Amino acid sequence: MQQLIWFIKTISKYIGSYRWQFILMFCCLIFDAAFDSVLRVSLKFIVDAAIIPQNYKLLIFIISLFGIGAIFYIAIGLLGTLLGARLGIVIINNIRSSLFDHLQSLSMEFFGRRSAGDLVKCLISDVQKVENGLISMGLTVVVLEISNILFASIFLFLLNWQLAIFTCIGLTICIIAPAPLAQIATSKGYYLLEKEGELANIVEENLLSQSVVKLFGMERRASQDFSDRLDDLKQVYIGAVFISYLVQRIPITLFVLTQLAILSIGAVMTFNDSMTVGTLVSYQVLLLGLNLNILAFTGSLPIVIDGVAALRRISEIFSEIPTVRDTQDAVTLPHFSEEIYLENVTFNYSAERVGVKNLSLKIRQGEYVMFVGQSGAGKSTIVNLLTRFYDPDKGRILLDGIDLCHATVRSLRSQIGLVSQEVILFNTTIRENIRMGYLEASNEQVEAAAKAAEIHDFILTLPQGYDTPVGDRGGQLSGGQRQRIALARALVRDPAILILDEATSALDLATEAGILATLDRIAKQRTVIVITHRITQALRADKIFVLENGQIVASGRHTDLVKEKGLYATLWQQGHQGSNNLPELALS
């Protein structure tokens, strides 16, 4: 009972706005079942009131009523099918849109423990199962099959071979008739799958790019773009599903007409004493297929169960609460002007994965600061905390004296530009990829950012210039070109704080040297925080923090740290031994 109440409350949130359309579809389904049942019950009147008394005019009248009823049956059945197709996609889009919007609000902690593939499956496959199992199939079972089962009474075996021949002819027509439409339905179904594949690609791209989406405040833009794609999918879906349902509907309709033909022929045969009344009644009841109703009901139960399970998976995501969000008294951060202060900050991703421990440090406005250390030392964790992808377990992070946990996320991230090792570009044009750093940026601002990142001249050599598509995840560009576009995207918002998280570690030395020279030039205008394992870049820094096991073990300028002969000096020596002429190339 509790599960039933939960199901009704959950699904009603999505169908409540369409209750009148649902009522109309219910009426169509009820008429479908009622007509089928009346057809069975009508045998009593044919036998008792027309055939036995030899009232031929009444017999013709009843048969005529069946013909009129069949016309209504076809028309109302098509209306119900169209309503089902429309309501199905509307509800799917409603659930998907709500789920997608909710995903935009969740914190990076959630995306760290849930795989993107699983979330894509939930958005696409599981939502489809809800529609199939609880909306389409569920309604059919409840309203149509159960109604038929309740009205039906008995089954009998085939009793008359002459009528069987007519039945076989009718069934053959039922199988052959929808063949031309089946080919159209297949084409439309294939096109629908392509559209769904495009939608899945957009979802996967968004989920894999959440750090960029959140940092640049693109949540609303992403939701609007997704909503537009859903509108396109709706039009394709309605046409494809309606044709597909029509292929299913034609055999049913022709079978009903076969039933009417068999009833008419059998009635005439009985009238002419060619068949007994009992044979006619028994045969017609058999033809109505009560057994098929039962089989359809039991066969649909696994689909309904899958739908309930899918709805539960979807509800679990909706129950997720963002771990990083604005408090009720959150303030808007002023433009960064003084210092960033980490005070006894401790953070762990999980019991097995340690981040940082009792971390305290200051970064003054305008400084070029570098964090170095071996992999797993906690360097990238500092980036995650500064951008509020995560909040500290203990301690505070202050920006100009304001605790980031008491500030709005948007006012913090609007002042930060981030370029990471894994460049995330979207499958759109170069111009739009740069503009995503600041959605209100003009074309002039986009080009100014590209010039600052020293990628403008290269873009102009492309056939379509700034309107050149970058391909899936920037696959049409080289690694250095992708990094410069990512840098331009960060610069277009004129960030007060520029963070480079292993931004050049995957590049060759010559490309790295060029980007580092660019960074040297733009670093004079803002605070720069560099996370790197390439120790040879340290000569650029005003201050270097050396991390080991989530703690700062040393800090200062390069020359001072080398003299201490600690971990930094060891890393510096290893950097020299690991690459020939690396310092000269990196500093060129």
∠ CA 249-250-252, rounded to 5°:
65
Q: What residues have CB less than 8 Å from 11, skipping those under 6 apart?
A: 134, 311
Residues 92, 234 contacting (CB under 8 angstroms): no
Q: What residues have CB less than 8 Å from 491, skipping those under 6 apart?
A: 417, 437, 449, 452, 453, 498, 522
pLDDT (0 to 100) of residue 25: 83
> Which of the pair, 43 or 361, is modelled with greater confidence?
361
The rounded distance, in Å, linking the Cα atoms of 573 and 561 is 12
CA 36 to chain centre: 41
Average pLDDT, the chain: 80
pLDDT grade for 586, boundaries at 50, 70 and 90: very low
> Which of the pair, 268 or 529, is modelled with greater confidence?
529
Instruction: Using the predicted structure, report yes or no on whether residue 362 has a pLDDT greater than 80.
Output: yes
Residue of 298, 302, 307 whose CA lies nearest to 146: 298
Q: What are phi and psi of 401, to 5 degrees?
A: 85, 0
CA distances from 467 to 222, 229, 327, 330, 350 (A): 20, 21, 40, 39, 43
Q: What residues have CB less than 8 Å from 582, skipping those under 6 apart?
A: 509, 534, 536, 575, 576
Q: Is 528 left (phi over 0), alpha (psi -120 to 50) or beta?
A: beta
Residue of 559, 579, 429, 403 whose CA lies nearest to 489: 429
pLDDT digits (tens, 9 = 90+) for 67-123: 888 888 889 888 888 887 788 788 888 888 888 999 988 888 888 777 777 788 788
Please state which of the ranges 267-276, 339-348, 349-358 shows the lowest mean pLDDT.
267-276
Instruction: Using the predicted structure, report yes or no on whether residue 221 has a pLDDT greater than 60.
Output: yes
CA distances from 33 to 131, 145, 404 (A): 22, 8, 63
Instruction: Using the predicted structure, report yes or no on whether residue 466 has a pLDDT greater than 50.
Output: yes
Kindly state the DSSP code that residue 53 receives in the 8-state scheme: T
Instruction: Specify the long-range contacts of residues 251-256, CB closer than 8 Å, at least 24 apart.
Output: 251/174, 251/175, 251/177, 251/178, 252/77, 253/73, 253/74, 253/77, 254/170, 254/173, 254/174, 254/177, 255/170, 255/171, 255/174, 256/36, 256/39, 256/70, 256/73
pLDDT (0 to 100) of residue 582: 39
Please state which of the ranges 108-122, 221-235, 279-293 shows the lowest mean pLDDT.
279-293
Mean pLDDT calculated for residue range 20-31: 82
Helix, coil or strand: residue 360 = strand
pLDDT (0 to 100) of residue 404: 93
pLDDT grade for 364, boundaries at 50, 70 and 90: very high
The rounded distance, in Å, linking the Cα atoms of 240 and 184 is 9
- Burial class (CB within 10 angstroms; exposed 0-12, middle 13-18, buried 19+) of 457: exposed
Instruction: Using the predicted structure, report yes or no on whether residue 303 has a pLDDT greater than 70.
Output: no
Instruction: Using the predicted structure, report yes or no on whether residue 38 has a pLDDT greater than 80.
Output: no
> Which of the pair, 454 or 115, is modelled with greater confidence?
454
Residues 567, 553 contacting (CB under 8 angstroms): yes
pLDDT (0 to 100) of residue 400: 92
Instruction: Using the predicted structure, report yes or no on whether residue 432 has a pLDDT greater than 80.
Output: yes
Mean pLDDT calculated for residue range 496-510: 77
pLDDT (0 to 100) of residue 403: 93
The rounded distance, in Å, linking the Cα atoms of 416 and 528 is 10
pLDDT grade for 518, boundaries at 50, 70 and 90: confident
> Which of the pair, 186 or 512, is modelled with greater confidence?
512
Instruction: Using the predicted structure, report yes or no on whether residue 583 has a pLDDT greater than 50.
Output: no
pLDDT (0 to 100) of residue 248: 65
Residue of 222, 275, 227 whose CA lies nearest to 104: 222
Please state which of the ranges 123-137, 269-283, 538-552 shows the lowest mean pLDDT.
269-283
pLDDT digits (tens, 9 = 90+) for 308-324: 767 878 888 888 888 88
The rounded distance, in Å, linking the Cα atoms of 578 and 2 is 65
Please state which of the ranges 40-44, 290-294, 499-503 shows the lowest mean pLDDT.
290-294
pLDDT (0 to 100) of residue 587: 28
- Burial class (CB within 10 angstroms; exposed 0-12, middle 13-18, buried 19+) of 4: exposed
Residues 397, 403 contacting (CB under 8 angstroms): yes
Instruction: Using the predicted structure, report yes or no on whether residue 566 has a pLDDT greater than 80.
Output: yes
**Locus of tokens 């009901």:** 297
**Locus of tokens 């309606």:** 242
pLDDT (0 to 100) of residue 89: 80
